[in-house]
Structure 1
């Protein structure tokens, strides 16, 4: 008995010591991903404790991405992002310092970058040049140089500046850069974002209120582009991501895929009969799909009783069903998705992805894309222009237009001659 009590006491002491060793400093942290070219993609996160349990959240003002899968041992910390195949493993150097790696899954070779974090200078960027010399509120036309000889996408920047603090986003024909956060110090612009997939650092010289020069854009491990911008309140984007029906007479798509619970779902199922149906072309790897899913999931809960259904069609990194299922399950749980998410079994990188899944249409150029069907199951709108909450007025306009489209289709009576 004495031996047993001694063993228990020794175990309790070890656990107590372990808890003491793993107590990281709570509050604001500054993290960064170290590129081989010396550039640091910086981001902010907070670490708090609730009932002695650590809670970590990635911050992109005003977004807070709370990490669920967090594990701390005596000398290390590991956590996965709430969505995406994106995870960190790091050694605890001391209570205020971490060093390790960030790994992001892909359709081929994973991206791996050195990761560091500290509480000693928790601000995302330091105002090394003092107060902002200029104010950048408004809309700017952006010109990118392109990467590895490719022509840069046309783009629009939307900025909101409060003192030196700068937020906003960059919009392109294929999506937006979500929440950018940073500052203007002197004549320098510094912005970054990190959401598990997007890992961006953006810098520029602010020539005046109307012009940005010497811009640099760094993404992930290797992407590097140059950019310039000028203020343009009437800036627009070309519809380079447009998708169409190949034949207007063949406007009634049909498909059958397996959902994440292993059940077969057919567009002809009774659940969708005589309903307005939204087909969400998406992937669990896609940050803009995350924003659209957040919007659609909340909207569906409030509106599906009006006679609307949504079906998510997922194009994943691989044809491995379990890998796709695990990634999409994170999406479903994170955004409490009540509509079916179907695994097409066709990868996003497959050049024949459209022909294999939705052969009535021209090539799928961007994710997310929404296809809206009327009560007769016929295509009434194809929307490749989703811009998320980081884009301000663009997001507001998208939601208004979406609601107007659905409301008009719900007013229509089903035409039995077209069934």
Structure 2
């Protein structure tokens, strides 16, 4: 009996060690999945670290970004000469690298915008390699935060030194952040293919002080926070509204086939319609689409329609629809998404709204064509109960509207 117990413990030990290796075989494939620590260096020479995995080799590689609980699989890489190009989702960005056995070096390229140095090392190296001093405090909880001049809510979850979190603002959340607490300092970062984010701050009792945020190529802000379970932001359902003199929300845009898309179309008459003001370049819009796409599939036969009005950074409709169609394919979006113009012209394209404060903004219209709700921004799955509350309340409203007759 004693020998059997020893063998059992030994087996568990061996399995545990194997599971921590940097190279693991998938259950469905013999392809190795290798973990890497990547770093993008911004113009302030600050290193923004993140994790990713590579499955397979050569042109069959699959790159997956890791931020906290999120896993984001990139598009299929391709070679030009000896340089590997890794398209970053549907965004106008890519990693262009040269591969070594244990290192990768190259650039993060925002097409038409800027380039930043990128390198990576193979293995289980810590995301932040600035020491393992025991955390002076567990900061898990809700914080009232000032990000520059912007009011925000900070949500943090700490286990020993490991830290995850996000920030909510009136225009959306900062998605999944991951890092650590070292002594009295916190470090968080994220790279999701579009956002390059780094946060640092000192912990002073219930306060987060001397905070600094770096984003993209060179943007930076100071920030501070204080623990506050009651921290709140302005009501997202009251920030955008119909101007005085307008009692309806309406629009008319041509789709890729040249057909006019409008609420006056027979297809939308007598239906509950969600209008999604969005852009394929917008990670928060991607999160919102992940909610609306399956909801539309479930409720379409009951009378729900969704229309995406996509405001893009390109003024070329062909280029815009290439990105829009890529988004629809990736997220399995089965509702109409039309190119509505460039982001700079969004306000003039929809003059009945007081402003376009955020991408995304969603508008829910009942069977009579009356606006029942305008919701500014979107707080996604990284925000926990804030996301769950939104999903529950929005789904309930739509269900109630579907039960009404015209």
Short-chain TM bin: 0.7 to 0.9
Name which of structure 1's ranges 370-379 and 120-129 shifts more when overlaid on structure 2.
120-129
Higher mean alpha-carbon deviation, 328-337 vs 160-169, is at 160-169
1:63 and 1:120, CA in 2 relative to 1: closer, same or farther beyond 3 A?
A: closer
Gaps of 5+ in 2: 1-30
1:52 Cα shift?
A: 8.7
Residue 96 of structure 2 aligns with which residue? Answer: 89
Counterpart Cα distance in 2 of 1:223 and 1:399 = 32
Q: Which residue of 1 aligns with 2:231?
A: 235
* Aligned-partner Cα distance in 2 for 1:390–1:221: 24
Q: Is the 8 A contact 1:191 1:202 kept in 2?
A: yes
Question: In structure 2, how many angstroms separate the alpha carbons of the residues matched to 1:239 and 1:184?
Answer: 32
C-alpha contact 1:192 1:202 (8 A) present in aligned 2: yes
Q: CA deviation at 1:260?
A: 4.4
| More off after superposition, 286-295 vs 178-187 | 178-187
Task: Indicate whether 1:338 and 2:331 are aligned.
Answer: no
Match in the other structure for 2:109: 103
Distance in 2 (alpha carbons) for counterparts of 1:225 and 1:276: 41
The equivalent of 2:350 in structure 1 is: 358
> What secondary structure, in the 3-state scheme, does the structure 1 residue paired with 2:126 have?
coil
Matches within 5 A, 1:189-228: 189-208=186-205, 210-228=206-224
Query: How is 1:2-401 mapped onto 2 (pairs within 5 angstroms)?
Result: 26-49=33-56, 53-72=60-79, 75-92=82-99, 94-105=100-111, 110-120=113-123, 122-126=125-129, 128-144=131-147, 146=148, 152-208=149-205, 210-239=206-235, 242-247=239-244, 250-260=246-256, 262-345=258-341, 347-350=342-345, 353-355=346-348, 357-401=349-393
Query: Contact 2:59–2:77 (CA<8 Å) still a contact in 1?
Result: no
Aligned residues between the structures: 375
- Checking the alignment, whether the CA contact within 8 Å between 1:243 and 1:382 is kept in structure 2 is yes
- What secondary structure is seen at the aligned counterpart in 2 of 1:270? coil
TM-superposed deviation, 1:254: 2.7
Q: Does the 8 A contact of 2:60 with 2:76 survive in 1? A: no
Range 38-47 or range 258-267, more displaced? 258-267
Supply the distance in 2 between the matched residues of 1:266 and 1:73 (Cα, whole angstroms). 43
Q: CA deviation at 1:385?
A: 4.3
CA RMSD of aligned residues (A): 2.2
Residues 60 and 193, structure 1, Cα contact 8 Å, conserved in 2: yes
Alpha-carbon distance in structure 2 between the residues aligned to 1:216 and 1:127: 17
- Which ranges in structure 1 are unaligned for 5 or more consecutive residues? 1-23, 147-151, 415-419
Assess, with a 3 A threshold, how the Cα gap between structure 1 residues 261 and 203 changes in structure 2: closer, same or farther. Answer: farther
Q: Shift of residue 88 of structure 1?
A: 1.1
For 1:90 and 1:275, the matched residues in 2 are separated by 49
